[in-house]
Amino acid sequence: GIEIKKLRAEAGLITLDPGYKNTGSCESAITFLDGEKGILRYRGYAIEDLAEKADFLEVAFLLIFGELPNKEQLEKFTNDIKEQSHVDEEMKKILDGFPKAAHPMGVLASLTSALTAFNPSSVDVSSEGDMYKAIVKIMGKFPVLAAWTLRKKHSLPLNYGDESLDYVENLHKMMFEKPGKSYKVDKTVIDALDKLLILHADHEQNCSTSTVRMVGSSHAGLFASISAGVSALWGPLHGGANQAVIEMLERIKEDGGDTHKFMEKAKDKEDPFRLMGFGHRVYKNFDPRAKIIKKSADEVLGQLGVDDPVLDIAKGLEKEALEDDYFVQRKLYPNVDFYSGIIYRALGIPVEMFTVMFALGRLPGWIAQWREMRLNKEPIGRPRQIYVGPNHRDFKPLGSR
Ligand code: ACO
């Protein structure tokens, strides 16, 4: 609950709400969600319709500019992004300096930040025209950087996109094409990836998006704000959960598949273990994205002929949790990341890239929220605090401590 404390007479009342559980930070016209009813809409359109009927760049345009694009608008947006799908060659040297074992999210955050150095005109933007240029730049360059983090890990030569392909297939090709081998991909894979990116594209004021708005509120540029968003997303309580889920399911499998044992572990307050992929700050009924992804996991694995035993473990855990008092009382349901990792794995995406895939999906949401914040001329974000440290103390020189 919110605590209201009187700080000092001149400061007036300060609301104390750790984790901002009940505190709104802005007015926004981008994403609506009703956690009690399990409703999620981007700019008024149901997530179920968008996941089924739209493609990722249409959804990106919708989120950023507020309306679904017509044919000409989509064509222009797509081409403007394609024109930006190269990064400065010097960026390769930066990537080269990272150890191979580095986590791709750390590398991606650093490279995104480094983009500011090579695109100084994108830093200080205030007109809508300048914003548009910065937006298509980051939409074009971010997938290159994301693909490179994977290529570095797998010692593959660094490449650029193929302008004849659409956004998602191009991303897939940049990640997976191998020298000397012709690149081919099943349409099922691209469709599934497209859907996953759409489902992750925005989720109102979550941790990474609030970070993007907060950093952007100081008028640091778009790329610096996105880089901060990548760092915020990395944590296992947020986007990092998709990697943590698959690692947990693997651990349960290797331990003999006893889901009950792990349920009990998650309920034990002395044990730091949590059931990853369960629970959500806002959804207290079900996460509509999880419903779509669960169905999609079944379809994709079926179409690709993949038989993954961890899917059965996941379904077993979900079934057990739905009947368990601890989980029912706390309204803990599978979230978007409970099943996404299983699909990513079936699509051949390595586990350490799962959160990068999330970041690729979330990019348009971060951009839309940053743009809205700037167009609304929001003030710099600067929360207050309740000071609980010592009162005035007399300084003691080092020798007398
Ligand atoms: N396993 C076991 N217990 C849980 C879990 C879980 N996954 N999630 C919450 N709880 C319990 C808490 O221990 C707490 O119990 P208590 O009331 O007895 O103390 C209660 O449920 C409420 O949990 P909070 O941590 O207060 O809820 P909060 O809203 O702060 O946290 C969060 C939400 C971070 C998502 C949490 O549920 C969690 O850690 N889940 C696992 C990680 C995860 O899947 N994250 C991805 C979220 S979705 C996304 O970012 C894309």
pLDDT tens per residue across span 105-114: 999 999 999 9
Highest mean pLDDT among 116-130, 139-153, 268-282: 139-153
Indicate the top mutation candidate among 47, 105, 207, 237 to test ligand 1's pocket, ranked by most ligand atoms within 8 A of CB. Answer: 237
pLDDT computed for residue 11 by the predictor: 60
What is the residue with the minimal CA distance to atom 49 of ligand 1?
A: 238
Q: Is 232 in the pocket of ligand 1 (CB under 6 A)?
A: no
Q: Distance (Å, rounded) from C-alpha 152 to C-alpha 156?
A: 6
Per the CB < 8 A criterion, the answer to whether 233 and 210 are in contact is no
Question: Which residues lie across from 42 on neighbouring strands?
Answer: 31, 45
Question: Which residues lie across from 40 on neighbouring strands?
Answer: 33
Band (pLDDT 50/70/90 cuts) for residue 5 is low
Is 219 an active-site residue?
no
> What spacing in Å lies between the alpha carbon of 280 and ligand 1's midpoint?
6
Q: Distance (Å, rounded) from C-alpha 340 to C-alpha 133?
A: 32
Q: Is 274 in the pocket of ligand 1 (CB under 6 A)?
A: yes
Q: What is the mean pLDDT of residues 74-101?
A: 96
Write out pLDDT tens, residues 186-234: 999 999 999 999 999 999 999 999 999 999 999 999 999 999 999 999 9
pLDDT computed for residue 230 by the predictor: 98
> What spacing in Å lies between the alpha carbon of 43 and ligand 1's midpoint?
28
What is the residue with the minimal CA distance to atom 34 of ligand 1?
A: 237
Q: Is the predicted pLDDT of residue 103 greater than 90, yes or no?
A: yes
Is 337 an active-site residue?
yes
pLDDT computed for residue 125 by the predictor: 81
Q: What percent of the chain has pLDDT over 70?
A: 97
What is the residue with the minimal CA distance to atom 45 of ligand 1?
A: 237
> What spacing in Å lies between the alpha carbon of 343 and ligand 1's midpoint?
23
> What spacing in Å lies between the alpha carbon of 77 and ligand 1's midpoint?
39
- Rounded to 5 degrees, φ, ψ at 6 are -90, 115
Q: What is the mean pLDDT of residues 337-358?
A: 92
Which of 55, 200, 280, 287 does the annotation list as catalytic? 280
Q: Is the predicted pLDDT of residue 4 greater than 70, yes or no?
A: no
Q: Distance (Å, rounded) from C-alpha 39 to C-alpha 71?
A: 28
Q: What is the mean pLDDT of residues 355-376?
A: 97
Band (pLDDT 50/70/90 cuts) for residue 355 is very high
ipTM, interface predicted TM-score of the complex: 0.94
Q: Is the predicted pLDDT of residue 176 greater than 50, yes or no?
A: yes
Band (pLDDT 50/70/90 cuts) for residue 10 is low
Burial of 298 (0-12, 13-18, 19+ CB in 10 A): middle
Closest atom of ligand 1 to 335 CA is 48
Write out pLDDT tens, residues 263-287: 999 999 999 999 999 999 888 888 9
How many Å separate Cα 215 from the centre of its chain? 16
What is the residue with the minimal CA distance to atom 50 of ligand 1?
A: 238
Write out pLDDT tens, residues 44-72: 999 999 999 999 999 999 999 999 999 99
| HEC readout, the chain | CCEEEECCHHHCEEEECHHHCCCCCCCCCCEEEECCCCEEEECCEEHHHHHHHCCHHHHHHHHHHCCCCCHHHHHHHHHHHHCCCCCCCCHHHHHHCCCCCCCHHHHHHHHHHHHHHHCHHHCCCCCHHHHHHHHHHHHHHHHHHHHHHHHHHCCCCCCCCCCCCCHHHHHHHHHHCCCCCCCCCCHHHHHHHHHHHHHCCCCCCCHHHHHHHHHHCCCCCHHHHHHHHHHHHHCCCCCCHHHHHHHHHHHHHHCCCCHHHHHHHHHCCCCCCCCCCECCCCCCCCCHHHHHHHHHHHHHHHHHCCCCHHHHHHHHHHHHHHCCHHHHHCCCCECHHHHHHHHHHHCCCCHHHHHHHHHHHHHHHHHHHHHHHHHCCCCCCCCCCCCCCCCCCCCCCHHHC
Q: Is 279 in the pocket of ligand 1 (CB under 6 A)?
A: yes
Q: Is 361 in the pocket of ligand 1 (CB under 6 A)?
A: no
Q: What is the mean pLDDT of residues 379-383?
A: 96
Q: Is 284 in the pocket of ligand 1 (CB under 6 A)?
A: no
Q: What is the mean pLDDT of residues 128-134?
A: 94
